[in-house]
């Protein structure tokens, strides 16, 4: 399963689907000296960059790759931030089209093929399908929505961490959280003022975390950090904590 | 002229509409300055931070139409952080306070909120036209305010915005008395649309000329809409999936035949291409066709459609058209002026992608071509030289070879000679985007020949500061220069500080400029806002004496008459 792979590689350089360099703050320097595929200390703080952070990772320059990585393979256009220069609206539409098409193909081809494609997605970033899956995230009480790249996340924990950083770290006044990264994930265990919900392809709003991660990312259309008090209408989560653990991707 | 009363002079000025000409008029003498400023109705502001609303209104108190642009162009590609700026709220507040008779507002790359839209809708009783391009920050609730409160609304044109769709009933917020709509474009909305409200709105808008639907409007609704609006000139089809034998498709066919004024066609956001033949009867009238969002339309259906479009002047298409398809365009569309070919497969290696052959074919077949945006996998100098010979009339030439630093795929040489040929032949070239493997040589050519060039986009190009210097010294009309991932540094940046007075802005990201260099620039040029964008906390720009070595990740500088802006987020450091 995907998370095991990443756990094993916590300290070494990881390359994900997009080949974008991911990691914490200090890792950006590491990122620049990495090879074409990008690198990042994945396990450092369990923190993932979001759409907001991509530009800071910096784009790879011929000089950098050449001098630090030796004979690096030619960059493909999908591995450089902000390249090719296609407007984000158009890019999202293109990606959604591809995603919808491949989702349809996967459904038709059956489960086994789905599994194969998933592993391909992560390990063969150069040949596999590259999808820049930015989806919108809104939070109750915050005027401007944000966007997050689902394909850059591997689990609900990662996603929740990203969202916490996004919304809570910069707005210390709104929530009591201090943004400490070792805290238990508030968004997923229902213990905080907010819960994470999503809208699926059929237009229904559900609580995040009930289905396997893979299924979630193919069906999610957008996210909303909702006040717990308002989330009563959603599929109630009567599960015990250990039951929930079982459902989450291992 | 001074012997005429002011009213006569003003009447003469009415015939001068271009902003540049009006600016020139205002410089002639004090009296003309005064007359001009009171009669100026339209103002275009290319950078919202170059001036502030108070000064704008101070000079042009009778303003009716305002165009504002916010974020720099590279924001389109996610290179500008989310909260950088470009807020329209202070502008609307100032305009509202001044009780201006605002009628038109056009915004590009600005942050617009529902609060702004509400204020806009309530502050200007004569408001007629709202055009939002690549904006963000608002929801359909904001649109509802516009719909409900703007009694004389003529245009609501939403192009490629990021809008939170609350699936509310914004369309039903148009009162029954609203019959003045001419343009209604909501193609970028992602959510459900109230079809009943939409049909009623279209039915009571006899002046409606431009209607662009979102993907939530299915084919049968389209048929009904076209029956209500046979006068339509510009149509954006939403969803286009249906069975060609169905009744709604037959209705659509009949309705389309009646749309004899239809000149521009776009959309097909979700489409089944075998129904395209319904549009064949009106294709001979089309001057503009935009299928760049229609991923399912390609192959023979696309070719058949294009073969009917003999009068096409503008074509936006995906690269799935292939070189063969472009050859068909070249032989059919002899009136073609503008072509844009967008990529479908970002990884490369697609069989149906276009190559240099397609570009050459177009240049050979379309004598009126003056604007091109072409994404492709490969290019050669020979092809570019041929294109330059065939089409010396280019005004805009934007070539994007998908793989950065890719050389001529036949000779493995840089593409300097090819682009050099373009700038030498195209004496009216105003906009140029470069790609592929390029050395300083291409910039020498640009500096030498591209005398009319106003906007230049550079990525992964050049060897030394000389490259950038050629451009800064040679291109006298340069207004917008944007550079990424190129080895230009402080020497080039600081060589001629006064040059930036003649330009709107300069963007440099992932280049070799240092913090020290930027500081020196800011000192020498107090009339410039020198912004360092640095989002990475641990990479914080510090006063540590090593500024000469500390590279700046993103630099954005622009001339301004109102000094440092006060709304910059913490990660933007204005020197």
Is it the case that residue B235 has pLDDT exceeding 70?
Answer: yes
pLDDT tens, position by position, B289-300: 999 999 888 888
Is it the case that residue B18 has pLDDT exceeding 50?
Answer: yes
Is it the case that residue B250 has pLDDT exceeding 90?
Answer: no
Flag the least confident range among A51-55, B34-38, B500-504, B512-516: A51-55
The arithmetic mean of pLDDT across residues A119-126, rounded, is 38
- In this prediction, residue B49 carries a pLDDT of 96
Give CA–CA dist B40/B65, Å, rounded. 9
Helix axis angle, B19-26 to B30-39, nearest 10°: 140
Give CA–CA dist A238/A226, Å, rounded. 18
| Chain A residues within an 8 Å CB radius of B554 | 55
CB contact under 8 A, A59 and B510: yes
Helix axis angle, B416-425 to B381-390, nearest 10°: 10
Alpha carbon separation from B30 to A71, B10, B26, B27, B34 (Å, rounded): 66, 14, 8, 8, 6
Q: Is the full-model pTM beyond 0.80? A: no
Give CA–CA dist B125/B120, Å, rounded. 10
Higher pLDDT, B128 or B573: B128
Closest-CA distance, A227 to chain B, in angstroms, reads 17
Mutation site, B81, B141, B296, B347, interface A, largest A CB count within 10 A:
B347
- In this prediction, residue A138 carries a pLDDT of 82
Closest to B3 in 3D by CA, of B511, A83, B12: B12
Give CA–CA dist B173/B294, Å, rounded. 30
Closest to B564 in 3D by CA, of B529, B527, B520: B529
Closest-CA distance, A129 to chain B, in angstroms, reads 8
B58: which 2 tokens? 């101070």
Neighbours of A250 (CB within 10 A): 10
- In this prediction, residue A61 carries a pLDDT of 38
Phi, psi torsion values for B518, nearest 5 degrees: -65, -40
Name the class of domain B1-40.
Answer: mainly alpha
Residue of A51, A55, A87 lying closest to B160 (CB–CB): A87
Helix axis angle, B356-365 to B381-390, nearest 10°: 10
- In this prediction, residue A68 carries a pLDDT of 38
pLDDT tens, position by position, A233-250: 665 444 444 444 444 444
Instruction: Name the β-bridge partners of B212.
Output: B185, B236
Give CA–CA dist B504/B360, Å, rounded. 34
Mutation site, B72, B75, B76, B110, interface A, largest A CB count within 10 A:
B76
B337: which 2 tokens? 């002026």
* Per-residue pLDDT band at A2 (split at 50, 70, 90): very low
Instruction: Name the β-bridge partners of B365.
Output: none
Residue in chain B lying closest to A84 (CA): B402
pLDDT over 70, % of chain B: 96
Give CA–CA dist B482/B471, Å, rounded. 12
| Chain B residues within an 8 Å CB radius of A29 | 539
CB contact under 8 A, A80 and B404: yes
CB contact under 8 A, B403 and A74: yes
DSSP letter at A72 equals P
List, in sequence order, every beta strand (DSSP E) within B367-504. 371-376, 396-401, 431-433, 455-459, 480-484
Higher pLDDT, A155 or B376: B376
Closest-CA distance, A243 to chain B, in angstroms, reads 34
Mutation site, B80, B344, B404, B407, interface A, largest A CB count within 10 A:
B404
- In this prediction, residue A199 carries a pLDDT of 85
| Chain B residues within an 8 Å CB radius of A22 | none
Closest to A148 in 3D by CA, of A111, A192, A198, A97: A198
Residue of A28, A74, A78 lying closest to B536 (CB–CB): A28
Phi, psi torsion values for B544, nearest 5 degrees: -125, 15
CB B482 within 8 A of CB B73: yes
Is it the case that residue B529 has pLDDT exceeding 70?
Answer: yes
| Chain B residues within an 8 Å CB radius of A88 | 76-78, 162
Give CA–CA dist A58/A82, Å, rounded. 10
Is it the case that residue B473 has pLDDT exceeding 80?
Answer: yes
Q: What element of type H or E holds B525?
A: none
- In this prediction, residue A111 carries a pLDDT of 53
Give CA–CA dist B42/B39, Å, rounded. 9
Is it the case that residue A128 has pLDDT exceeding 60?
Answer: no
Please report which residue ranges of B404-553 form alpha helices under DSSP H: 416-425, 440-449, 465-474, 490-494, 515-524
Instruction: Please count the residues of chain A.
Output: 250
Residue of A51, A63, A97 lying closest to B295 (CB–CB): A97
CB-count burial class (<10 Å; 0-12, 13-18, 19+) for B273: buried
Instruction: Name the β-bridge partners of B368.
Output: none
pLDDT over 90, % of chain B: 77
Give CA–CA dist A28/B152, Å, rounded. 53
Mean pLDDT of chain B: 92
pLDDT tens, position by position, B53-82: 999 999 999 999 999 999 999 999 999 987
* ipTM of model over 0.95: no
- In this prediction, residue A73 carries a pLDDT of 43
pLDDT tens, position by position, B107-130: 999 999 999 999 999 999 999 999
Phi, psi torsion values for B77, nearest 5 degrees: -110, 25
Over B249-293, what HEC string results? HHHHHHHHHCCCCCCEEEEEEEECHHHHHHHHHHHCCCCEEECCC
Q: Which residues have C-beta within 8 Å of that of residue B565, sequence separation ≥ 6?
A: B49, B85, B529, B574
Is it the case that residue B555 has pLDDT exceeding 60?
Answer: yes
Neighbours of A244 (CB within 10 A): 15
- In this prediction, residue A181 carries a pLDDT of 35
The arithmetic mean of pLDDT across residues B251-268, rounded, is 93
Chain mean position to CA B347 = 25
């Amino acid at each position: 399963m995907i998370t095991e792979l990443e756990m094993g590689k916590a300290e070494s350089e990881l390359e994900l689907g997009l080949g974008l360099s991911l990691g914490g703050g200090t890792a950006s320097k590491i990122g620049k000296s990495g090879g074409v595929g990008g690198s990042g200390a994945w396990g450092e703080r369990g923190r993932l960059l979001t759409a907001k952070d991509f530009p800071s990772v910096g784009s790879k320059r011929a000089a950098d790759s050449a001098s630090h990585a030796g004979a690096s393979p030619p960059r493909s256009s999908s591995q450089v931030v902000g390249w090719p220069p296609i407007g984000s609206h158009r890019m999202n539409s293109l990606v959604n089209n591809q995603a919808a098409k491949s989702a349809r193909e996967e459904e038709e081809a059956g489960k086994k093929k789905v599994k194969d494609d998933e592993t391909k997605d992560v390990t063969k970033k150069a040949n596999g399908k590259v999808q820049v899956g930015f989806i919108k995230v809104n939070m109750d009480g915050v005027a401007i929505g944000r966007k997050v790249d689902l394909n850059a996340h591997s689990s609900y924990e990662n996603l929740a961490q990203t969202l916490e950083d996004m919304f809570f770290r910069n707005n210390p006044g709104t929530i009591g959280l201090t943004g400490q990264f070792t805290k238990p994930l508030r968004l997923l265990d229902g213990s905080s003022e907010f819960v994470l919900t999503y809208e699926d392809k059929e237009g229904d709003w559900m609580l995040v975390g009930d289905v396997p991660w893979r299924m979630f990312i193919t069906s999610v259309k957008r996210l909303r950090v909702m006040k717990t008090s308002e989330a009563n209408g959603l599929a109630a989560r009567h599960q015990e904590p250990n039951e929930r653990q079982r459902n989450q991707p291992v | 002229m001074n012997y005429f009363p002011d009213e006569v002079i003003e009447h003469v000025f009415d015939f001068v509409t271009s902003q540049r000409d009006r600016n020139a008029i205002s410089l002639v003498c004090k009296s003309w300055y005064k007359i001009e400023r009171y009669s100026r109705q339209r103002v275009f502001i290319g950078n919202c931070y170059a001036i502030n609303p108070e000064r704008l209104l101070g000079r042009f108190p009778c303003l009716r139409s305002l165009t504002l642009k916010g974020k720099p162009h590279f924001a389109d590609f996610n290179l500008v952080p989310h909260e950088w700026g470009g807020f329209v709220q202070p502008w609307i507040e100032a305009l509202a306070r001044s009780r201006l008779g605002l009628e038109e507002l056009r915004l590009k790359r600005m942050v617009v909120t529902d609060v702004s839209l509400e204020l806009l809708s309530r502050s200007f009783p004569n408001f007629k036209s709202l055009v939002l391009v690549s904006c963000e920050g608002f929801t359909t609730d904001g649109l509802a305010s516009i719909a409900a409160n703007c009694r004389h609304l003529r245009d609501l044109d939403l192009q490629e915005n990021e809008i939170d769709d609350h699936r509310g009933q914004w369309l039903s917020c148009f009162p029954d008395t609203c019959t003045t709509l001419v343009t209604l474009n909501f193609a970028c909305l992602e959510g459900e649309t109230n079809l009943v409200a939409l049909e009623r709105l279209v039915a009571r808008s006899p002046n409606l000329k431009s209607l662009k639907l979102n993907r939530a409007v299915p084919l049968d609704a389209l048929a009904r809409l076209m029956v209500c609006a046979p006068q339509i000139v510009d149509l954006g089809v939403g969803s286009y999936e249906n069975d060609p034998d169905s009744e709604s498709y037959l209705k659509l066919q009949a309705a389309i035949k009646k749309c004899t004024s239809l000149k521009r066609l776009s959309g097909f956001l979700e489409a089944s291409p075998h129904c395209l033949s319904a549009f064949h009867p009106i294709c001979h009238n089309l001057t503009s066709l935009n299928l760049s969002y229609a991923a399912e339309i390609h192959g023979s259906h696309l070719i058949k459609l294009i073969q009917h479009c003999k009068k096409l002047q503008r074509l936006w298409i995906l690269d799935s058209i292939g070189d063969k398809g472009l050859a068909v365009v070249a032989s059919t569309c002899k009136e073609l002026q503008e072509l844009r070919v967008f990529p479908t497969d970002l990884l490369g290696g697609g069989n149906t992608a276009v190559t240099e052959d397609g570009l050459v074919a177009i240049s050979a077949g379309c004598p009126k071509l003056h604007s091109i945006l072409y994404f492709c996998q490969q290019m050669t100098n020979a092809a570019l030289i041929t294109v330059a010979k065939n089409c010396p009339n280019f005004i805009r030439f934007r070539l994007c070879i998908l793989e950065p630093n890719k050389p001529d795929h036949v000779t493995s040489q840089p593409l300097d000679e090819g682009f050099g040929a373009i700038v030498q032949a195209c004496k009216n070239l105003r906009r140029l985007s470069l790609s592929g493997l390029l050395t300083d040589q291409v910039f020498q050519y640009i500096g030498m020949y591209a005398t009319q060039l106003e906007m230049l986009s550079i990525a992964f190009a050049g060897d030394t500061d000389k490259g950038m210097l050629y451009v800064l010294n040679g291109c006298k009309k340069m207004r917008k220069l944007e550079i990424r991932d190129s080895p230009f540094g402080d020497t080039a940046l600081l060589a001629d500080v006064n040059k930036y007075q003649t330009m709107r802005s300069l963007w440099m990201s992932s280049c070799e400029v240092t913090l020290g260099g930027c500081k020196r620039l800011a000192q020498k040029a107090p009339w410039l806002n020198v912004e360092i964008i640095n989002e990475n906390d641990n990479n914080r720009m510090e006063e540590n004496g090593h500024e000469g070595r500390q590279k700046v990740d993103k630099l954005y500088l622009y001339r301004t008459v109102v000094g440092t802006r006060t709304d910059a987020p913490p990660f933007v450091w204005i020197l």
